[in-house]
Amino acid sequence: MELTIIVPCYNEEQVIETTHGRLLKMIDNASWDGKILYVNDGSIDGTASKLREFSKRDSRVSVISFSRNFGHQAAISAGIHRCRGEYAVIIDADLQDPPELIPEMLALCLKEKSNIVYGRRKSREGENRFKRWTASLYYRLLNKLSEYPIPLDTGDFRLIDRRSIEAYKSLPEKNKYIRGLFAWMGFKQVEFLYDRDARVAGETKYPLVKMTQLAAHGLIAISRRPLTVALRVGLITIFVSLVLAIYVFTAYFSKRIAVFPGWTSVVLIIVFFSGVQLLTVGVLGIYLGHLFDEIKGRPEYIIMDDDLK
């Protein structure tokens, strides 16, 4: 039985040797054949040269290099498209998700006869309270807006079987949100609880701005419900406007209701409803942007070179 470990990498020069050592040690102690597939996502430091050296030294290691930085999701996608094992594991290079857990995930998969084993975080070391709180809030909001259940507190760390791999390869869309797509596929999925470690070295590739972008992409990519929310907000604002109109009309002809002339209330109302309109147009614009990207038909990524074995 062969298992391919897919490792997306972007500027991981400081940690990649430690990661590689732990992956090889885990594979050497395993009872199955393990392969490592590194996907170099346009790194501009020494990551690419280190990965090429790993590949030259060990026939179990393959490397795919992009022509530029296409993003974490595209790197994972490229690995899934080109992995050859009966099973595959997606794991980041920063060692926050311990490689030593992979044999346990495979054992759980075989025991439960499942298609996907997804890692669910019990704890998140090395992250401040604000990030943990916003991450928890995001996953719960995502699950509320999704049209199908998405496991809470999960990332891309997961084990998938050949059936899931082939199903993923059949998806033609370009702007993928991978954890949402695996939830959409169905199949039998079981959770694997673990404690997430702090990053060993280097800097996070998902600062607040990128995390916000990923969160927005996730909400839009997997559900049409934001459009429904925008419609509901629009209906509520129309109702509020009608109530205000009735109040003003009644006050004009009634001596019991005092009406104070001024521009402040008018400006506040205009600003409020203008904000609602812009929010709704913004949501529509994001959906149209996704459609525009799909219609252009550009590839999800461009491979500069590879040494698949």
* pLDDT digit string, tens, across residues 107-139: 999 999 999 998 888 776 656 666 666 666 666
Domains contained in the chain, number: 2
pTM for this prediction: 0.71
Same domain for 68 and 112?
yes
Half-sphere exposure of 2 (CA within 13 A, CB side): 11
**Phi and psi (nearest 5°) for 305?**
-160, 160
Condensed to tens digits (0 to 9), the pLDDT of residues 244-273 reads 667 666 766 666 655 555 555 666 677 677
Are residue 233 and residue 137 in the same domain, yes or no?
no
- At 26 the pLDDT is 92
172, 268: one domain? no
Domain assignment present for residue 152? The answer is yes
Q: Do 19 and 159 sit in the same domain of this protein?
A: yes
Residue 4 has pLDDT above 90, yes or no: yes
- Judge whether 306 lies within some domain: no
Please give the residue range of the domain that contains residue 42.
Answer: 2-203
Distance CA 75, CA 67 (A): 12
CA neighbor of 75 nearest in space, from 288, 303, 233: 303
Residue 114: φ, ψ to 5°: -100, 165
Q: Is residue 123 part of a domain?
A: yes
Task: Judge if 180 and 238 occupy the same domain.
Answer: no
Q: Say yes or no: 50 and 180 in one domain.
A: yes
Which ranges constitute the DSSP H helices of 113-224?
Answer: 129-145, 162-169, 178-185, 208-221
| Percentage with pLDDT > 90 across the chain | 29
Q: Are 279 and 140 part of one and the same domain?
A: no
